[in-house]
């Protein structure tokens, strides 16, 4: 099995953490009193970008804006699927101005941005998984936004209820290992309501199940190209499980970003053709 895992080359949009900081608190990870090592953050982010490029992926960058410290979390700005862009409507007033900068990038790149009409935080909660669009709600993205996403993309949306504030975005508790028709996922069941857990178990009987420890180490905030899994270096058990299933873990440490409640996937917006 190991050598049958074939990577699909991706195109990513990222934002350099030039103005990254923890200045306000909009999730339980954020403590403005805890110092962030900005030089280390920049090195960690550069190592991530290097790893993507070394594995053949294309990386585009949007210019960071001063006074928008969370703009580095590019995953939240939109969902791009089939070349169509559903632009976010951020929950926190502090993050709303990010949309102006991201919209300008998308328009400059030839995309037309359709704005979400209800709170919607892009790939933070909307996760394309083969034939379905998995959609989290509970803390940020609303069910109304799920409905709009289904209508806009024409992909069946599976709404999933998040219940633990530490896993306030679905991409902190679940990621897609391979997004073919019969693709698979990895997730942390306790982040979801009992009904949503049952839905995931029914759709993905062979899913990789993470421990709480690995989930809290942002192990599920990973990016997979179908073969390589760019994963938090602290999620050791999960990396071992993936290795046994024929994936190739690429461990990276994004400790500084965890202080803002983010990890590898949060820093990465995928531009799906
Ligand atoms: N501080 C940011 C927020 O709370 C972190 C966003 C993390 N992004 C993600 N895709 N989970 O909005």
Tokens of 178: 């391979």
Torsion of CA 232, 55, 183, 185, to 10 degrees: 0
SS3 221: coil
The reported pLDDT for the residue numbered 3 is 61
Q: Interface pTM (ipTM) of the complex?
A: 0.97
Residues 248, 203: contact at Cβ < 8 Å? no
With vertex at residue 44, the alpha carbon angle to CA 78 and CA 218, rounded to the nearest 5 degrees, is 60
The reported pLDDT for the residue numbered 181 is 86
**Is residue 240 within a helix (H) or strand (E), and if so which, with residue range?**
helix 236-244
Which one of the listed residues 91, 169, 228, 267 is annotated catalytic? 169
pTM listed for this prediction: 0.97
Catalytic site includes residue 266? yes
> How much distance in Å is there from the Cα of 1 to the middle of ligand 1?
35
> How much distance in Å is there from the Cα of 142 to the middle of ligand 1?
16
What pLDDT, in 10s, does the model give residues 141-181? Answer: 999 999 999 999 999 999 999 999 999 999 999 999 998 88
Catalytic site includes residue 169? yes
What pLDDT, in 10s, does the model give residues 168-178? Answer: 999 999 999 99
DSSP 94: T
Closest ligand 1 atom, residue 75 Cα? 10
Ligand 1: residue whose CA is nearest its atom 7: 262
Closest ligand 1 atom, residue 26 Cα? 4
What pLDDT, in 10s, does the model give residues 23-38? Answer: 999 999 999 999 999 9
Ligand 1: residues with CB < 6 A are 26-27, 30, 70, 73, 75-76, 95, 124, 169, 171-172, 260-262, 266
Single out the residue of 17, 159, 26 nearest to residue 95, CA to CA: 26
Ligand 1: residue whose CA is nearest its atom 8: 266
> How much distance in Å is there from the Cα of 4 to the middle of ligand 1?
34
Low-confidence ranges of the chain (pLDDT < 50): 2
């Amino acid at each position: 099995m190991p050598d049958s895992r074939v990577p699909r080359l991706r195109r990513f949009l990222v934002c350099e953490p030039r103005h990254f900081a923890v200045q306000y608190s909009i999730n339980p990870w954020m403590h403005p009193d805890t110092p962030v090592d900005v030089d280390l953050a920049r090195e960690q982010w550069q190592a991530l970008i290097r790893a993507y490029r070394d594995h053949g992926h294309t990386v585009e960058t949007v210019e960071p804006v001063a006074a928008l410290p969370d703009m580095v979390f590019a995953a939240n700005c939109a969902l791009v699927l089939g070349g169509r862009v559903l632009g976010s409507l951020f929950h926190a007033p502090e993050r709303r101005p990010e949309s102006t900068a991201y919209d300008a990038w998308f328009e400059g790149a030839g995309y037309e941005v359709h704005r979400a009409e209800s709170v919607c935080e892009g790939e933070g909660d909307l996760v394309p998984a083969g034939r379905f669009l998995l959609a989290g709600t509970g803390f940020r993205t609303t069910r109304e936004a799920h409905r709009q996403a289904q209508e806009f993309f024409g992909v069946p949306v599976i709404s999933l209820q998040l219940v633990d504030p530490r896993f306030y975005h679905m991409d902190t508790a679940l990621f897609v290992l391979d997004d073919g028709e019969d693709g698979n996922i990895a997730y942390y069941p306790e982040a979801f309501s009992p009904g949503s857990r049952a839905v995931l178990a029914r759709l993905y009987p062979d899913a990789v199940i993470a421990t709480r420890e690995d989930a809290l180490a942002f192990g599920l905030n990973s990016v997979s190209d179908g073969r390589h899994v760019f994963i938090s270096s602290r999620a050791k058990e999960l990396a071992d499980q993936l290795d046994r299933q024929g994936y190739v873990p690429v461990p990276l440490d994004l400790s500084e970003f965890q202080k803002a409640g983010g990890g590898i996937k949060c820093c990465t917006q995928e531009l799906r053709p």
